[in-house]
Amino acid sequence: RVHSDGKPEKFQPPPKPVIIDKQRQREERRFLSPEFIPPRGRTDPLKFYIERRDMIQRRKVFNIPEFYVGHVLAVTTAEPYASEKASRFVGICIQRGGKGLGATFVLRNVIENQGVEIRYELYNPRIQVIEVLKLEKRLDDNLMYLRDALPEYSTFDTSMKPVSRLDNEEIPVNKLQVQMKPKPWSKRWERPKYNIKGIKFELPEKKMKEAQKWSQPWLEFDMLREYDTSKIEEKIWKEVSEELKK
Amino acid sequence: MMPIWTKSGEKHAVTLLKVQDCHVLRYVPKEESGGKRAKLFVGGKNASPFYKSESAMEIFKEAGVPRKQKVTTFNVTDDAIIKPGTPLYAAHFRPGQFVDVTAKTIGKGFQGVMKRWGFKGQPASHGQTKTHRRPGAISTNKASKVYRGKKMPGKMGNIYRTSFGLKVWRINTKHNIIYVNGSVPGHTNCLVKVKDTKLPSYKDCNKNPPFPTFFADGDEKLPEDLYDEEMFQFTDPSVTYA
């Protein structure tokens, strides 16, 4: 190229191509289902090992997808007394509880103006299919406050189509701030012990300050409450991924 | 404790019991023991030999076995006598059998009458002066004494108790683990005694048990896991009601 002056431009090398190795990126993301992590206690680790073997057995036969609190799931269960012997329920996952084979998750939906919550066990043999319809994490681990939020936030269409998603890295976090029904609520969600970031509190400042009276800032520094699971998680992740590949 | 599902989709809770280094220690014939049957002394978990006197270690030396944490007695018929020194395994029991489990309950220390015996206590308000968890009256006027065995505060727990009629769902021969239905007395990792049921309704449930016991060096090669017929194994596909 020649400038308007007539002088030749200094040679600029072309920019280096940025190589995104998609395979390596995919492997880097590890998800270990929270029920694999053993709780703190004096139980023999052999018990957790045997339970894990059973859980991996079940996962080989029946696919349990990766999901977090805030995903919209559709679960088909076999019911002995239902017509067609199978019932399908669609809902948002509010809570994931339990460890080991007894791990559960609660799905919430509002059907014909009636809020319905169903607790399913992940390893129950009566569950036929678990489909993830919509993938999005929310700001909290526990969405129990949806019971006191306006019903529009818990309604999901039963015939919703699964939202397509590539095998990307990150699961999008929905920073939705939910509007609540007028007080009284089932729990005092403004108190710091619940540590909720997903509610749009429209309470006066005075009430919010009063709620901070129940804060326990020393809990964060309590060394006896610490339970560092990083090493345990790595070991279990290796074990589980090796077994599942077989 | 773990959940277990049957083939019809029902859930049951199950306790895991591990058979850890059990050996037969001594055989006492019917005449020497004070009862109607012969006795077999069986020892549990291995422990250090340095904390007991020589006289206490004699039983273990005779049998040729390391010192055991716990020694119990089983009353045995003459055709079920086992030579001292033989190891006992979890495969002695089979799925579908019924079993009684004895253990020392969790010790709660000195407890009041409401927790220990389930008394109702007194109301919290309406004029009660310093009386909310007390036993109230302990006897009548005519008796003019307190009967022996009156329920009163005292040390609760840390005594032997038995749960009867527990079904065996599964046996793991590799790690020697018995899966027993329901709950069992005692804290986690406590020592427990497992016997065949004395209940008459389960008399016919043991079809072909390994008699007198399961010998590991014998001809039988058992698979790693033995399941009950009704239990759902995780290798099967999901349960459907067709």
Contact: A78, B241; criterion CB under 8 Å: yes
Number of residues in chain A: 246
Contact: A80, B9; criterion CB under 8 Å: yes
- Residue A2 predicted with pLDDT over 70: no
CA-closest candidate to residue B90, choices B189, B22, B12, B27: B22
Contact: B2, A44; criterion CB under 8 Å: no
The pLDDT > 90 percentage for chain A reads 60
Smallest Cβ–Cβ distance between A44 and the set B189, B241, B242 belongs to B189
Q: What is the pLDDT of residues A155-177, one digit of tens each?
A: 999 888 888 777 666 788 889 89
Q: What is the pLDDT of residues B3-34, one digit of tens each?
A: 999 999 899 999 999 999 899 999 999 888 77
- Give how far the C-alpha of residue B87 lies from the chain's centroid of Cα atoms, to the nearest Å: 19
Helix (H, G, I), strand (E, B), or coil: what is residue A132? strand
**Is some CB atom of chain A closer than 8 A to the CB atom of B124?**
no
d(CA A196, CA A190): 7
Torsions phi, psi of B202, nearest 5?
-105, 20
Structural fold of domain B1-18+94-107+160-202+219-236? Elongation Factor Tu (Ef-tu); domain 3 (2.40.30)
d(CA B148, CA B130): 27
pLDDT on residue B164: 95
| Pairing of the two strands A104-111 and A114-121 | antiparallel
Domain ranges in chain A are: 45-175
Q: Is A81 exposed, middle or buried (0-12, 13-18, 19+ CB in 10 A)?
A: exposed
Contact: A124, B242; criterion CB under 8 Å: no
**Chain B closest CA to A201's CA: distance in Å?**
38
- Residue A22 predicted with pLDDT over 80: no
Any idea what the Cα angle at residue A225 is, between residues A219 and A226, rounded to 5°?
110
Helix (H, G, I), strand (E, B), or coil: what is residue A44? coil
Helices (H) and strands (E) in chain B, counts: 2, 13
The residue behind tokens 């270690």 is B57
| Domain at B20-88, CATH from 3.40.630.10, 3.30.160.810, 1.10.1200.10, 3.40.50.1000 | 3.30.160.810
pLDDT on residue A180: 92
A230-245 helix and A45-61 helix, angle to the nearest 10 degrees? 40
Contact: A61, B235; criterion CB under 8 Å: yes
Domain with CATH 3.30.160.810 in chain B: 20-88
* Residues whose CB falls within 8 Å of the CB of residue B70, separated by 6 or more in sequence, listed in order: B43, B44, B45, B191
Q: And the tokens for B11? A: 């859930």
> Highest-confidence range of A13-17, A159-163, B130-134, B219-223, by mean pLDDT?
B130-134
Q: What is the pLDDT of residues B88-108, one digit of tens each?
A: 999 999 999 999 999 999 999
Q: Is B217 exposed, middle or buried (0-12, 13-18, 19+ CB in 10 A)?
A: exposed
Structural fold of domain A45-175? SH3 type barrels. (2.30.30)
**Is some CB atom of chain A closer than 8 A to the CB atom of B237?**
yes
Instruction: Write down the H helix ranges in chain B.
Output: 54-63, 113-117
Does the model's pTM come out above 0.95?
no
Q: And the tokens for B144? A: 């003019």
d(CA A204, CA B113): 49
* Residues whose CB falls within 8 Å of the CB of residue B136, separated by 6 or more in sequence, listed in order: B119, B122
pLDDT on residue A90: 94
Amino acid at B184: V
| Pairing of the two strands A173-174 and A137-138 | parallel
On whether the CB atoms of residues B18 and A50 are closer than 8 A, the answer is no
Q: Which residue of A has its CA nearest to B188?
A: A43
pLDDT on residue B134: 93
Chain A residue numbers with beta carbons less than 8 Å from the beta carbon of B241 are 78-80, 85
Q: What is the pLDDT of residues B165-203, one digit of tens each?
A: 999 999 999 999 999 999 999 999 999 999 999 999 998
Torsions phi, psi of A224, nearest 5?
-70, -20
Helix (H, G, I), strand (E, B), or coil: what is residue B8? coil
Q: Which residue of A has its CA nearest to B242?
A: A85
Domain with CATH 2.40.30.10 in chain B: 1-18+94-107+160-202+219-236
Contact: B177, A51; criterion CB under 8 Å: no
Q: What is the pLDDT of residues B104-125, one digit of tens each?
A: 999 999 999 999 999 999 999 9
Q: And the tokens for A58? A: 């079940």
